[in-house]
Chain A
Amino acid sequence: MKARLRRLLFLLSVALIAAFSILPFLWFIATSLKTQMEITAIPPTLLPSFSLDFYRSALDDYHLLHYLKNSVIVAGAATAGTIGISLFAGYALARIPLRHKPLIMGSLLLVAMFPQISIAGPVWQILAALGWLNSYQGLILPYITLSLPLGVWIMTGFFRELPQELEDAARVDGCGHLQTLFRIIIPLAAPGVFTAAILVFIYAWNEFFFALLIMTQRPYQTLPVGIALFQGQYTIPWGEIAAASTIATIPLVLLVLLFQRRIVRGLSAGAIKG
């Protein structure tokens, strides 16, 4: 009896956690599938009529595809750049005896931590001087910088776990460092690269602060900026905002459903092993 009660309590808490996590967003998705009448109805309509009007309006009147394209370009390029750079840096930090390693790792951590405002002004000035405000590279470069700590930490942790014997064997066979890196290490690092890539992509896809500063003109704005600045003529276009939000979130939900194990491991790897 007591065991059954405990089991019931446990299942209840699981249900509570699930509800807390997904119900609010499900409500927003439902909103995107309603009609204007249903959105303003009191009591609220629980089941939407699955109207796609707001999606059509978001695409046609609010240039959703446009923001989507910019987000794909910026997040994709930032991910590729970060991974390339952190692959090399991670290898050096994990495998080559160096002085000041804790200092390097520590200052990277600091970069990951400090508030964006503490670098915003000068970054803006640099980009303005280069004429790169409202350009893809103008946003991609800061994104690479700010996601490098994450990438380097994950890659370093990953490389540390690869057995040293592999490299020693390659070395005995006459491979230099560079050859070892490209022939032995990088192919083995694929899972680590993939984990880091998912996390960096999510970061770049979601980033708002720098996107807001740097992309002041609509042709270059990314999804978060678009969604934050959606404005109707007289009212807040909730339906369109919900539709755009749903579209912006779908890729992330897919990533989470497909790779949750990897994401969890990646998030905790750098953190727990230090």
Chain B
Amino acid sequence: MTIPTRSVHCLAPRRRRERLFAAALLFPCFAFVAVFAFYPIIHSLYLSLYRIILGLPGLSQPFVYLENYRQLWGDAVARHALANTFLFVAVSTTCEMLLGLAMALVINRSFRGRGLIRAAVLIPWAIPTVVASQMWRFINNDHYGLLNFLLYGSDLASYQAWLADPTFAMAAVVVADIWKTSAFAALIILAGLQTIPDELYEAARLDGATAWQRFTRITLPLIKPALLIALLFRTMDAFRVFDLVFVMTQGGPADATNVLQFYGYKKMFAEGLLGYGATISVLVFLIILALSLVYVRFLGREIMEERP
């Protein structure tokens, strides 16, 4: 009999205790993210206002206000890298979404050995990007790469140094990325496909809908959230492409494959221009922030609609 009254009394302190408990549980996570992610982002903003050169500790580190930004604005290589990055993101993400959708549609059918195919598809995704990069660099090799042999057979005179050609080098990096990450898009889309009940297709078939109609009227609308999520993740991931470029081309030839993340890395750690590098960091962060806000607006609505 006394229990109900006690619980009423305890309600407020219990809620406070609960909140404290939650804070304690979240603290380690928060601490890591604050120190190694949020602080660095803010500190980059600060660094971008100074001229700091690594490895020259005797040199003063003067406050230069927006000088770095003015320099970045007129930096032709940076502009090139920005254009390259957007080109890479647009082409690779589009191809990966289309290929991923096709792969998901095939794997979603039930057939013998489906588990094995699914594992096979996952392998490029699991391979370290550095390994995939070396592999594609070897395939594109000018003397004994597989690509040259497949195209020209034993006619050694026609063999091309693909990675030394500005257009082909970019294409080679894009192909490597598509190979590596289409599976990721496929898996996210597959998860979306599997939430569609078979009865819907049955009913549509009874109503005389063609395969194409079933695809455009049932499949596509129902996997739209999955498609958007795959697109979001792939865009963001393509935006920070680095490993492929570092291993396959070092940004070359003639900056044809130089992308923002690689350019920032080079300025900061190869040339030691920490202040100028931080300016690139800020630019990259702002682009990503803007992109993700746009996506979240779309995605947020899509996911909310899905919820009961």
Residues in A with CB closer than 8 Å to B43 are 121-122, 125
Residues in A with CB closer than 8 Å to B129 are 206, 208, 224
Beta-carbon contact of B225 and A25 below 8 Å: no
A91 beta carbon closer than 8 Å to chain B: yes
Q: Contact partner of B22 among A96, A242, A252, A256, CB < 8 A? A: A96
**Total A-B residue pairs with C-beta atoms closer than 8 Å?**
286
The contact string, 1 if C-beta is below 8 Å from chain A, for chain B 2-46, is 000000000000000011011001101100110111011101100
Beta-carbon contact of B187 and A267 below 8 Å: yes
Beta-carbon contact of A25 and B124 below 8 Å: yes
A145-B32, A177-B21 known; A44 and B281 CB under 8 Å? no
Closest chain-B Cβ to A213's Cβ sits at a distance in Å of 6
* A residues 96-142 in Cβ contact with B at 8 Å: 96-98, 104, 106-111, 113-126, 141-142
Residues in B with CB closer than 8 Å to A274 are 303
How far is A139 from B152 in the complex, measured between Cα atoms in Å?
A: 45
Beta-carbon contact of A224 and B240 below 8 Å: no
Closest chain-A Cβ to B290's Cβ sits at a distance in Å of 12
A50 beta carbon closer than 8 Å to chain B: no
How far is A42 from B141 in the complex, measured between Cα atoms in Å?
A: 13
* A residues 250-274 in Cβ contact with B at 8 Å: 252-253, 255-257, 260-261, 263-265, 267-268, 271-272, 274
Residues in B with CB closer than 8 Å to A196 are none
B251 beta carbon closer than 8 Å to chain A: no
Interface locus among A11-19, A57-65, A160-168, A186-194: A11-19
Interface locus among B70-78, B90-98, B196-204, B258-266: B258-266
A227 beta carbon closer than 8 Å to chain B: yes
Beta-carbon contact of A114 and B285 below 8 Å: yes
Beta-carbon contact of B292 and A120 below 8 Å: no
Beta-carbon contact of A42 and B154 below 8 Å: yes
Residues in B with CB closer than 8 Å to A152 are 29
Q: Which residue of chain B is the closest to A43 with respect to CB atoms?
A: B154
Residues in A with CB closer than 8 Å to B149 are 42-44
Q: Contact partner of A92 among B25, B39, B128, B288, CB < 8 A? A: B25
Q: Which residue of chain A is the closest to B184 with respect to CB atoms?
A: A267
Residues in A with CB closer than 8 Å to B168 are none
A52 beta carbon closer than 8 Å to chain B: no
How far is A106 from B295 in the complex, measured between Cα atoms in Å?
A: 12
> What's the dominant secondary structure at chain B's contact region?
helix
How far is A92 from B21 in the complex, measured between Cα atoms in Å?
A: 8
Beta-carbon contact of A121 and B36 below 8 Å: no
Beta-carbon contact of B268 and A260 below 8 Å: no
B233 beta carbon closer than 8 Å to chain A: yes
Closest chain-B Cβ to A254's Cβ sits at a distance in Å of 10
Residues in B with CB closer than 8 Å to A142 are 36
Beta-carbon contact of B190 and A118 below 8 Å: no
Interface residues on B, range: 35 or more
Q: Contact partner of B138 among A106, A212, A242, CB < 8 A? A: A242
The size of the chain A interface, using a CB distance under 8 A, is 93
* B residues 240-295 in Cβ contact with A at 8 Å: 240, 242-243, 246-247, 260-261, 264-265, 268-269, 274, 277-278, 280-282, 284-285, 288-289, 292
How far is A117 from B179 in the complex, measured between Cα atoms in Å?
A: 24
Q: Contact partner of A118 among B39, B233, B247, B288, CB < 8 A? A: B288
Residues in B with CB closer than 8 Å to A228 are 130, 133-134, 243, 246-247
Residues in B with CB closer than 8 Å to A91 are 25
Binding site for A on B (CB under 8 A): 18-19, 21-22, 25-26, 28-29, 32-33, 35-37, 39-41, 43-44, 47, 102-103, 106-107, 109, 111, 115, 117-124, 126-131, 133-136, 138-139, 141, 143-144, 146, 149, 153-154, 156, 179, 183-184, 187-188, 190-192, 195, 225-226, 229-230, 233, 236, 239-240, 242-243, 246-247, 260-261, 264-265, 268-269, 274, 277-278, 280-282, 284-285, 288-289, 292, 296, 303
**Given known contacts A93-B26, A116-B261, A142-B36, what 10 new A-B pairs fall within 8 Å (CB)?**
A28-B134, A31-B138, A98-B22, A114-B236, A114-B284, A115-B285, A117-B242, A122-B41, A145-B37, A268-B188
Closest 9 pairs between A and B when the two form their complex, measured CB to CB: A268-B191, A122-B40, A115-B240, A119-B40, A118-B285, A145-B36, A92-B25, A89-B29, A206-B128
